[in-house]
Amino acid sequence: GTRLIIDTDPGVDDAFAIALAALSEDVDLLGVTTVFGNVPLAATTRNAQRVLALCGRSDVPVAAGAERPLVHPHPHRAHYAHGVDGLSGRSQVLPEPERELERADAVELLVSLLNAADEPVTIAPIGPLTNIAALLAAHPGVREKIDRVVIMGGALGHGNTTAAAEFNIWSDPEAARRVLTGGEVSCVLVPMDLTYRCAVDAEWLAKLNGSGPIGTALYALTPDYREHYNRALGWDGIVMHDAVAVAEAIKPGILRTERFPIDVDCTHGPSRGATLVDRRRAELRDDTEATDEVADVRVGTDTDLDGLRGFVLD
């Protein structure tokens, strides 16, 4: 099965994504690393530990990473979507963490897990890319141990945090640029355009709620997040962004992906954090090898929407 490390900022949809990996057969979840993002690092870390405890996965080590972006001095927050504690104010419905946080920080845990792995590992970053950029900068040798980096982030059209930028990329554009254009690792970028199309409705959420104790607890984390999407979209349901990326990480090919040249706007103008996915040149979109000109980045562009929703629910 897929060897996987999730780097995360829970976050309601992160909680779904962690549970998806933690409960899937044939996935070897080696570790979870945390990053600032939706809420501050202490809260994202605690939330990740609680979700693993809910899933009975206290065998999975958790290490805390960056508290702020690589360059920009201040972290951004998304309490407006994820509630006071990052889980709609409901993190107390989850069990207390059973396993102590690692003494190692996120980068140290990533290095030791990658070095110990006998086969290449998939990393699924579903928050700001700060930890992954720091890993690649400080430990270039580990890239040989990385199979793919499957990222939730970016936007082909408009953003969700600014007109141009999606939250994870906007949170640390310099880190995102380092990972996506450094040419060191194969990346799959799962942008918000696709994750929005995979949104789940009230009926899906009711099925989750009725699926057993874990589903009921995950459902209990959704009210503030659901209310956010109600206000934003005038529609009752949620967008489970991060679970779409983790679905691709654990079931390669569940998303249709295409290779495109990509860059990230790191200027301080109105497009800061935009992902510039160059869809002009058809010849760069096929399965030809990455070149010096084009880093190996594939972008998720389509999927069987109901198939994806059913896979996550199962």
Contact positions vs Ca ion (CB under 5 A): 9, 11, 14, 126-127, 242
Q: CB 171 → ligand BDR: shortest distance, Å?
A: 8
Q: CB 159 → ligand BDR: shortest distance, Å?
A: 8
**b/e map 163-178, b = 16+ CB within 10 Å:** ebbbbbbbbbbbbbbb
Partner from ligand BDR, Ca ion, none contacting 160, C-beta within 5 to 8 A by type: ligand BDR
Kindly give the residue spans of alpha helices, DSSP state H, lying in 160-274: 167-171, 173-181, 192-197, 202-209, 213-220, 223-233, 241-250
Q: Is 88 in the site for ligand BDR (CB under 6 A)?
A: no
Q: Is 109 in the site for ligand BDR (CB under 6 A)?
A: no
Choice from 160, 186, 301, 303 touching ligand BDR (CB under 6 A): 160
Partner from Ca ion, ligand BDR, none contacting 167, C-beta within 5 to 8 A by type: ligand BDR
Q: Is 7 in the site for ligand BDR (CB under 6 A)?
A: no
How many residues form the binding site for ligand BDR (CB under 6 A)?
16
Q: Of 134 and 194, which CB lies nearer to ligand BDR in the complex structure?
A: 194
What pairing do the DSSP bridges indicate for beta strands 255-259 and 275-277?
unpaired
Q: How far does Cα 304 stand from its chain's mean position?
A: 20
Q: Is 167 in the site for ligand BDR (CB under 6 A)?
A: yes
| Residues labelled as active-site residues | 241
User: For 151, phi and psi rounded to 5 degrees?
Assistant: -105, 130
Q: CB 161 → ligand BDR: shortest distance, Å?
A: 7
Q: Residue 269: which residues within 8 A CB-CB, separation 6 or more?
A: none
Q: Residue 243: helix, strand or coil by DSSP?
A: helix
In angstroms, the CA 109 to CA 131 distance is 11
